Chain A
Amino acid sequence: MAVNWARSGSPWLIHFNTGGCNGCDIEFVAAITPVYDVERFGIKLQGSPRHADILAVTGPVTVQIAHSLKRVYDQMPSPKFVVALGTCAVSGAPFRNCYCVHGGVDSVIPVDAYVPGCPPKPEAMIDGIAKLLQKIRGTKG
């Protein structure tokens, strides 16, 4: 219990684009810049999957990137959590039926929180991550 509480206080986040249009990515970066400032929740964005607790994925998983996504996920130390940001990451729509798209993120790795929207606003992303933190803490929001 105490470990979970401590863990939810300072999650390190890694961002991975699996073939998105950049719309979600710039909103995600907007969420770490002064107007939205996700760092006030103790969340820190950093570069290596080996240091990360939460994997934030944007974009539909293309056939070419599916392998890399699995590898990034495997490199993260347990316990690890995945947030799918944007409708593409949630289900692959509107690229769902494209020949080069694998589907949503959950077709490759397990997902803990879904944030729909095209693209979701930074507020929605922060809300999604905050809900995930509540889940980690073991309390219902």
Chain B
Amino acid sequence: MGYASTVKVPFGPQHPALKEPEHFLFEVDGDTVVGVTPRIGYVHRGIEKALELSTYGHGIYLAERICGICTIAHTCCYAQAVEELMGIDVPPRANYIRTIMSELERLHSHSLWVGLVAHEAGFDTLFMYAWRDREVILNLFQELTGGRVLHAINTLGGVRRDISPEMADKVRRALEHFEGRTKEYLRIVRTEPTFLRRTRDVGVLKPADAARLNAVGPTLRASGIKGDVRRDDPYVAYDEMPFNVITSDSCDVFGRTEVRTEEMMESIGIIRHALEHLPEGVFRVRAPRNVPAGECVSRVEAPRGEDMHYARSNGTAKPDRYKVRAPTLANIPALCKMLVGIHVADIPIILAGIDPCFSCMDRMVFVRSGGSTGRAR
């Protein structure tokens, strides 16, 4: 009597469950979340403007730093957009190397995620094992490109480094080890009772909602909808790769875990196929400095879902407008849907469930109109 029926609980920007600064305001009734207001924009660095102020050659370094986990997806997307504007054809060998790199990135990103979701579920042993085994992929990256996390492998007109036959053998050997570990994770997430009880029917997103709210990537596929840019609109060499688009009908965090773990198995298959059929020839062509006027949209399936870049050029060496739409932004409406009607204790695991990458996402700033501070919000 006389008490407000709901309580507002702020979450972030500094919170142990969030690796990045973002804020959610939860409206809580007892132990049930009845409303959620996301407040995004803390990681807004103004990268689109920076891209417009730098030349196309410099832009690829900035595109690499949109996100440190999907760096190959972003550089691939950037390079594709600019190459289409330039009207240059990438050599087939470069396309195959880009495919291999994209899939290695998916392996590292998904295994990282399996660890994080296990951590949020209170299953730290799996977290530690997943991150230990992920080092195998990072070591491969270091040998293939020189960098563990940022690789600088994609460049305009192709890739920077070739894959030698000895290196290909090394990749095959590492994948053999990693495949065994992935099978083990698949067994654990499917059979471990504590993990199942923590993830089943948690964060439910019905297929109709997923489609209506335009979810992308594993979040969409875990709701039983086959949506994958690699299949729907093949880029680099995906039209020549045999793979299945993994879906799950369970529509919850368990489904998202299953989809990502099975996708790792598919990625291993794609890398093996690409290494086997690596075309001979050059891996880089020279890119012109100036770009003819025009505009272009390019799409890539990043580990978190569909990544979209838009470029408009005015015939100079710098883009006139550049726009990035990262997968996490597309998943935020679906996330808000999942977060309503749940227990407070489930918030971290549902947040982690969409594999949020806020640095990809924060592309804009609202300036309070008519306000006296003019502070960016």
Q: Which residues of A contact B (CB under 8 A)?
A: 15-27, 29-30, 33-35, 46-49, 59-60, 62-65, 68, 72, 94-95, 97-101, 118-119, 121
Contact = CB atoms under 8 A, between A and B. Distances in A.
A15 B19 CA distance: 8
Contact of A23 (B42, B149, B375): B149
User: Helix, strand, loop or mixed for chain A's interface?
Assistant: loop
Interface string B51-82: 00100000001100111110100000000000
Interface of B: 13-16, 19-21, 41-47, 49-50, 53, 61-62, 65-69, 71, 112, 115, 127-129, 131-132, 134-135, 138, 148-150, 357, 359, 365, 375-377
A13 to B, nearest CB: 12
B360 to A, nearest CB: 8
Which 3 residue pairs of A and B lie closest in terms of their CB atoms, listed nearest first? A23-B68, A47-B16, A33-B131
A19 B359 contact: yes
Contacts of B377: 64
B50 A97 contact: yes
Contact of A20 (B41, B53, B359): B359
A47 B120 CA distance: 13
Which of B13, B112, B128 has the most A CB atoms < 10 Å from its CB? B13
A112 to B, nearest CB: 20
A16 to B, nearest CB: 6
A64 B376 contact: yes
B148 A27 contact: yes
Given A62-B42, A63-B376, A100-B45, A22 B69 contact: yes
A121 B43 contact: no
A121 B45 contact: no
21 contacts: A19-B359, A22-B19, A22-B359, A23-B149, A23-B150, A24-B68, A26-B68, A27-B148, A30-B135, A33-B131, A35-B135, A62-B42, A62-B44, A64-B41, A65-B21, A65-B43, A94-B61, A98-B46, A98-B50, A100-B45, A100-B376
B45 A60 contact: yes
Nearest to A17: B20
Contact of A25 (B20, B71, B148): B20
Contact of A19 (B43, B148, B375): B43
B128 to A, nearest CB: 5
Contact of A17 (B21, B49, B71, B135): B21
A22 B44 contact: no
Contact of B46 (A21, A29, A100): A100
A105 to B, nearest CB: 14
A19 B45 contact: yes
Contacts, number: 124
A87 B14 CA distance: 21
A96 B131 CA distance: 32
A108 to B, nearest CB: 14
A103 B204 CA distance: 41
Nearest to B109: A26
B135 A19 contact: no
Contacts of A33: 115, 127-128, 131-132
Contact of B47 (A18, A20, A65, A98): A98
A33 B134 CA distance: 11
A125 B66 CA distance: 22
Contacts of A22: 19-20, 67-69, 357, 359
Contacts of B66: 21
A100 B44 contact: yes
B150 A19 contact: no
B68 A21 contact: yes
B363 to A, nearest CB: 11
A133 to B, nearest CB: 23
B15 A16 contact: no
A29 B124 CA distance: 13
Contacts of B67: 21-22
Which of A26, A46, A101 has the most B CB atoms < 10 Å from its CB? A26
Contacts of B71: 23
A60 B284 CA distance: 33
A119 B148 CA distance: 9
A67 to B, nearest CB: 9
B131 A30 contact: yes
Contact of A68 (B42, B45, B53, B376): B42
A19 B359 CA distance: 7
B45 A62 contact: yes
B132 A64 contact: no
B306 to A, nearest CB: 19
Given A20-B43, A23-B150, A98-B46, 12 more contacts: A19-B21, A19-B44, A19-B45, A19-B359, A21-B68, A23-B149, A33-B128, A62-B44, A64-B365, A94-B50, A118-B150, A121-B148
